[in-house]
Structure 1
Amino acid sequence: MADKFDIEQVRKDFPILDQQVNGAPLVYFDNAATTQKPQMVIDALNHYYTRDNANIHRGLHTLAERATTGYELTRKKLKDFLNAESTDQIIFTSGTTAGINLVAQTYGRANFSKGDVILVSNLEHHSNIVPWQMIAEEKGAEVQVIPVDEAGVLDMKAYVELLDSNRVKFVAVNHVSNAIGTINPISYIIEQAHRVGAKVLIDGAQSVAHFEIDVQALDIDFLAFSAHKLFGPTGVGVLYGKRTLLEAMPPYQGGGEMIKEVSFAGTTYNELPYKFEAGTPNIADVYAFGFALDYLKSLPKNAVWEQEKALLDYATEQLMQIDGLRIVGQAPEKIAVVSFVIDGVHPQDIGVLLDKFGVAIRTGHHCAQPLMARYELVGTCRASFAFYNTKSEIDLFVKALKRTITMLS
């Protein structure tokens, strides 16, 4: 698999794909919501619970040592995956949302004050809007919005003008829009924010599965993402942060593991990354996540991207031939996501009927209500592809969609 992308073999690696739903072959086009898991991740979970299950960092017995080794090995793999300087900069959370909230409630509480401005974009998931609204209300700061044009591209001229207000202290943007697939120019966004002394958090939930992210080369301050969108288990997230920023931030939660010493006279907190990892963590899923990273490492990166780009181009071409269908978000740079509406038909009705043909897509506002309001829509239908999808599945999807439109007309 190192030299050639063998789609048939790849699909065999994902057992869930080999089934029928409502009497039809499963066509899974909801990868932006969560990705499926290769067999080696499933096997890793089974192995952990049948052979290594124990609490970590505390016990001296063999099972505890094996569990701790496996858990910390995933942290090392993530360091390499992101090209971070140190494993101490890799903090395990429950997901992207938890990572963003951690930064808002620790860095934000310590650094924001009345009159400060936090910039978010009109492309954001609610998880990268609401935490900033909450801390802004608490500290007397203000959330301002980077606008997006009709194609789904952020207005960089407006962004620079917002930065030049001299009040911007923080910028929180996604790398990729979950709702319409736009790839944002985060290198430029970060560079411009740093020009005025603002720090930047990148929501990488939708980007890490599609292309490599070098946190040092991009000069990223904070990056949050989830394992389940990266072919790993649910319930695990990652927060990367620059060491100087993380060291200055107060702990987010109190409890076991995040302390060195506790007395009623006071508590001494643990070092990075453990001061942000209170309590017994999600050991099994972190352990298995390491195997998802191994699987991705075994795939030819360029071939994966080319496969997904081919799927996007083919799906876009086929869908644009359907009368009354409009694609929402046509940025020049996109991941393999097609968000669309059909004249006179509610997206939810389309999703329900497509499921009857074995096709899984996502409908609704995609936790991006401000973006839907920008387009004056209640929601869209979203088909999102992964490298294990095929053009023949797109053909089945388009055929089912045409039948669905006929039934709803």
Structure 2
Amino acid sequence: MSRAFDLEAIRAEFPILSREVNGKPLVYFDNAASAQKPNAVIDRIANQSRTAYANVHRGIHTLSNETTEAYEAAREKARAFLNAPATENVVFTKGSTEGINLVASALAGRIQPGDEIVLSIMEHHSNIVPWHFLRERHGAVLKWVGLNADGSLDMDEYAQAIGPKTRMVAITHMSNVLGSVTDMAEICRLAHDVGAEVLADGSQAAVHMKVDVQALGCDWYVMTGHKLYGPTGIGVLYGTDEALDRARPYQGGGEMIEIVSRDRVTYNTAPHKFEAGTPPILEAIGLGAALDWMTAFNHDDVIAHENALYDRAYEGIRGVNGLTIHGEAPGKGAVLSFSLQGAHPHDLAQILDRYGIAIRAGHHCAQPLMEHLGVSATARASFAVYNTPAEVDVFIEALAKAREMLV
């Protein structure tokens, strides 16, 4: 049974929301960068540290067994969250960035000069730079897919970009700048038709959408804990059985081995062969608590709330002279990026901070997208389950005052 959506009760679970910034109540609209943490997560990490902490898997004693149970229970929660077939398909990482690097490293051993990797121009740098490594070091060719006028992925251009030389398609499931949602199931279908693997960057989508990796059909899917109301330093890489089996280990040592001798080494099975060394134990347990907290609500209630906040903000600023909203694709997530003619986004963010409002300003680790948009940076307000309509109104009013000061 789902928990009732009570906004006041939800906000009471986030202690940081009671503080003031520059003498004003905190309005935290930087959720696409990192979300705040509820007491359920904070307390779970603290209680595990206080009562049952040890290293996992190899211990025989009680504390190690209890910690291992909590750690592996978190893996099962991640599996259920993504609807992965089994826990063996769930690799814990430091975050989405490490997950993508792991996949790129695994692919490196099979890349030949001229092999192609297909990206979109709205990718986060974390889903660009690892593929540049393969371009620089192995002769891979990067092919770029553009956008339609509304900020949606140009699927016709995508269909033309893939072909017999395509080895990997690495595309965001939801843009961190535009909020645009890609048709990942169709992306996967077309890629598999030419024998390519697909990595979906779910860093934003996992927060705002219900994700079913089996229905999407992707070979790889990454998400990161700190955007999911969980800790930093923890993320999840999903891989199909086939993708994990053919991928070589990313790092060596510790948990990823079966036997080590002077002249040979044999590797553990997935997911452990990708989890070298002492893992992020408390962080994984904290992520499990965050996923429990998120899934206690009816997903449709949460999405409706976030979309209502976005719609309120959109309607409140779209008529402002000189203001451009970037990304208006149907079905987009609750991410509002905008530019104000004559005002640098950093100046906007600094003035809004005086009113207690936290937004993000810059290129958002998406410089190819900024080039496409014809700007060096944008301002971005992004919404979460704990934000309120009243906060949106404060944002709209403060933005009007900032415009008066800057333009």
**Does TM, normalized by the shorter one, top 0.5?**
yes
The answer as to whether partners of 2:105 and 2:250 remain within 8 angstroms in 1 is: yes
**2:228, 2:174 → 1: CA distance?**
14
Q: 1:275-290 alignment to 2 at 5 Å? A: 275-290=273-288
**1:381, 1:101 → 2: CA distance?**
28
Superposition TM-score, scaled by structure 2 size: 0.98
CA-based RMSD: 1.1
Q: Note the C-alpha offset of 1:3.
A: 5.5
Match of 2:381 in 1: 383
**2:58, 2:170 → 1: CA distance?**
36
**2:236, 2:292 → 1: CA distance?**
16
Match of 1:166 in 2: 164
2:75 maps to 1:56 = no
Q: 1:129-278 alignment to 2 at 5 Å? A: 129-163=128-162, 165-278=163-276
Q: 1:118-129 alignment to 2 at 5 Å? A: 118-129=117-128
SS of 2:185 mapped into structure 1: helix
Q: 1:73-112 alignment to 2 at 5 Å? A: 73-106=73-106, 108-112=107-111
Gaps of 5+ in 1: none
**1:290, 1:3 → 2: CA distance?**
18
2:22 maps to 1:26 = no
Report Cα offsets for 1:60-91 as digits up to 9, x if no partner: 11111111110000001111111111101100
Q: Note the C-alpha offset of 1:329.
A: 1.3
**1:85, 1:241 → 2: CA distance?**
10
The answer as to whether partners of 2:3 and 2:296 remain within 8 angstroms in 1 is: no
**2:209, 2:153 → 1: CA distance?**
20
Report Cα offsets for 1:107-140 as digits up to 9, x if no partner: x113221111100001100010110111122221
SS of 2:251 mapped into structure 1: coil
**1:224, 1:332 → 2: CA distance?**
24
**1:224, 1:181 → 2: CA distance?**
17
**1:193, 1:122 → 2: CA distance?**
18
2:17 maps to 1:17 = yes
Gaps of 5+ in 2: none
**1:377, 1:400 → 2: CA distance?**
23
**2:256, 2:105 → 1: CA distance?**
16
**2:394, 2:178 → 1: CA distance?**
22
Q: Note the C-alpha offset of 1:197.
A: 1.1
Match of 2:72 in 1: 72
SS of 2:206 mapped into structure 1: coil
Amino acid paired to 1:187: A
Q: Note the C-alpha offset of 1:353.
A: 1.0
SS of 2:182 mapped into structure 1: coil
Q: 2:329 aligns with which of 328, 331, 334?
A: 331
Report Cα offsets for 1:298-345 as digits up to 9, x if no partner: 111111111011111111000113222110111122100110011100
Q: Note the C-alpha offset of 1:149.
A: 2.6
